[in-house]
Amino acid sequence: MKNLIRLFVAIPAAALLLSATNTEIWSQSEYEDFTKGSLKKLSVSSDGRITLAPRFKEIFDSASVYLWALAEDSKGNVYAGGGGPGGPGARVYQITPDGKSQTLAEFEDLEVHAIAVDKHDRVYAATSPDGKVYRLSPKGEPEVFFDPKTKYIWGMAFNSKGELFIATGDRGEIYRVSPDGKGGVFYKTAETHARSLAIDPQDNLIVGTEPGGLIIRVAPNGAGFVLYQAPKREITSVAVAKNGAIYAVGIGNKTAQAPLTTVPSTRPPAQQPVTTPTAPPTQVQQPRTVTQTAPVTAQQTVSTPSIPGGSEVYRIEPDGLPLKVWSHTRDIAYAIAFDSEGRPLIGTGNKGTVYRLDSDRVYTELLKVPPTQVTFLFAGRGGKLYAATGNVGKVYQIGPGLEEEGTLESDIFDAKLFSRWGRISFRGKANQGRIEIETRSGNMDRPEQDWSPWSAPITSPEGAEVTSPPARFIQWRVRLSASPAGDSPVVESVDLAYMSRNVPPVLQAVEITPANYRFPPQTVVSNPSARNITLPPIGRTSRQSTPSTSPGSSTVSMNYAKGYIGARWAASDQNGDDLIFTLEIRGEGETEWKLLKDKLTESRFSWDSTAFPDGEYRLRVTASDSPSNPVGQALSAELVSEPFLIDNTPPAITGLTASIVNGNLRVAFRASDALSIIQRAEISVNGGEWTVVDPVTKLSDSRREDYEVVLPAPPGREHTVAVRVADEYENESVAKAVVR
């Protein structure tokens, strides 16, 4: 792997520990980051490298909805076969080296699914369903070469002796046909479809099947051997590398099979390989074009049903060891081929993506074709690679060489608040080419006409100050230009510094807590200057701050403490700043606030109210974001509580009388309080248990209550009667009377 440098913004390390109103970094360095943006003529690897894509151009636009097969003769003529519902039916097209194209042959069947060219440059086309193998004259006149009398013909290939092998469906048979058109069944699989076919240099057939997902090697003598039973049900394509390794593409879920050795991967989590699928078996896979029922024109697109289970690529080493080297949970792989350096390329739907396997750990999203499906890949002469597509049927040339220029517009970054932009820098390697980065900003969540224009380009990796105006949203665009020798620059990350405009904290509510309770002591920090950070999961780089919120609304336990009273409040800061609080108190009729407590870091406080005269008071809470902002830039907010009482004086008991009347003990008294309601009254006779008594009104809802109690007189001639009353602040008074 090339030793590539990574992008970063050079800022003081301490800045990373500060909150949102200090320097923050928007960092983009992952595959997921870059693929969220808009790529034009650029490729992105799974380890986060941006490079120029291979040259890519459309060379043919057919009238067919699907093109399923490609081949090339010795003169460089490319042949494409296809068809599908809604189009003109089965056809073979010819594209000459100078770019001219023509319909070479037409058939009465639905589509051409396989094409082969022999060593004499004769073209063979197989039609489906219920089709035959035709040999075309130089003028395109078809003649039946071989009729396998089966439903589907999926693939054809010539061995070194000029014998044609035909992979078929409905009975899963492989036919061998001699150059004179005579042949028969060479090998019969135990499957419904011999779905894909390749021939290695030793003339062994490599066959992929459906629905068992088998990869079979058939020797020249017809002896078959299953190399691997894949977890997927359909092997859509097989190919043989120069070193003899076999690559196979599997799609669709089926019942679980024996585990496969899986190569560790650095791919995004959504695309990590899975050892065994869990979805239930699907129906037998029929030809993709046959499943389409709605007629369409050649310029319409056909919606292809999704195939559960995604795709996997397997490599079977020359010694027979099977490895899973790539998987994707959504894309459906149809084709595999090799580029000029021998790296496997995978053609997929339903987003038309071509992937390149750079190693067992890294792959590259090479390019996207406008049609939604890459149905066939073919390595031609001179380093050219051809891609056939479906929805609609076109032929593209990939390479040789790279694009001269490409761009990536990043995803839109939301700073959450109006922000000032700092330095933008990138880490990469120009390789004698050029890397340019530009920015634009705005206050809408999408870059429409009311955003700023793109800034002047920055070309130095060290970066420069962003000149786009302060705003809430920003976007960057990187442009890569090839070197004179055609080498691609490489970009690995882009970092942009920003500082959100400081906004004042918000105090949502202040609540006075019940009297005679206090909060537990605050946690003492042994080293107030120490700072801690929490690292994200490995491989993640997000340092985006989130608005801070004080824990004022959380559940808090309080301890009983006579004479104490407290308050708690809810505060937040959109910048995510740390907050500090000041608490002041003012009595009714007073004009100035008196400091109760400052430098509070928790949004609660309790104090001994016995140091204050009884009366009505208010609290004022001031929240400041000064811990997170330079001197002179801090902002604050304040909120005043509703009035509350401090009452530490017990109620008065007056008019207490007690007498014996007709054998009953009669007790009467009045309880009154200057500030609060009489909450409870009790009576005890001769030191007995306290008994709750109701006021005359039966309701304890006033600062003055009268009580009259009649009890059976206890034995004896002298009795001691005690009464106890309490107000709502739990201040108690006791009085007694003696009855003789």
Please give the pLDDT value at position 500: 87
Give me the amino acid identity at 64.
Answer: S
User: How many residues does the structure list for the chain?
Assistant: 740
Please give the pLDDT value at position 574: 86
Please give the pLDDT value at position 555: 73
Residues 362, 356: Cα–Cα separation, whole Å: 9
Please give the pLDDT value at position 280: 29
Angle (CA) 153-159-164 rounded to 5° is: 35
Q: Supply the CATH classification number for the domain 652-739.
A: 2.60.40.650
Please give the pLDDT value at position 549: 55
Q: What are phi and psi of 446, to 5 degrees?
A: -145, 145
Give me the amino acid identity at 266.
Answer: T
> Does 13-53+406-500 match 652-739 in CATH topology?
no
Is residue 50 within 8 Å of 38, Cβ to Cβ?
no
Please give the pLDDT value at position 693: 96
Residues 200, 206: Cα–Cα separation, whole Å: 7
What pTM value is reported for the model? 0.73
Q: Which residue in 437, 442, 450 sits closest to 413, CA to CA?
A: 442
Locate 518 and state its tokens: 């206090």
Domain segments of the chain as ranges:
13-53+406-500, 57-400, 506-522+543-646, 652-739
Please give the pLDDT value at position 629: 86
Please give the pLDDT value at position 270: 32
What top-level class would CATH report for the domain 506-522+543-646? Answer: mainly beta
Please give the pLDDT value at position 307: 66
Please give the pLDDT value at position 139: 87
Please give the pLDDT value at position 4: 31
Each residue's pLDDT tens digit, 619-657: 999 999 999 888 888 999 999 999 999 999 999 999 999
Q: Which segments in the chain show pLDDT lower than 50?
A: 1-20, 256-305, 524-526, 528-531, 533, 535, 539-546
CATH architecture of 57-400: 7 Propeller (2.130)
DSSP class of 352: -
Each residue's pLDDT tens digit, 712-721: 999 988 999 9
**SS3 sequence, 197-230?**
EEECCCCCEEEEEECCCEEEEECCCCCEEEEEEC
Please give the pLDDT value at position 5: 29
H or E stretch including 564?
strand 564-573
Residues 110, 37: Cα–Cα separation, whole Å: 39
Please give the pLDDT value at position 575: 81
The four Cα atoms 173, 176, 181, 184 give a dihedral, to 10 degrees, of: -50
What top-level class would CATH report for the domain 13-53+406-500? Answer: mainly beta
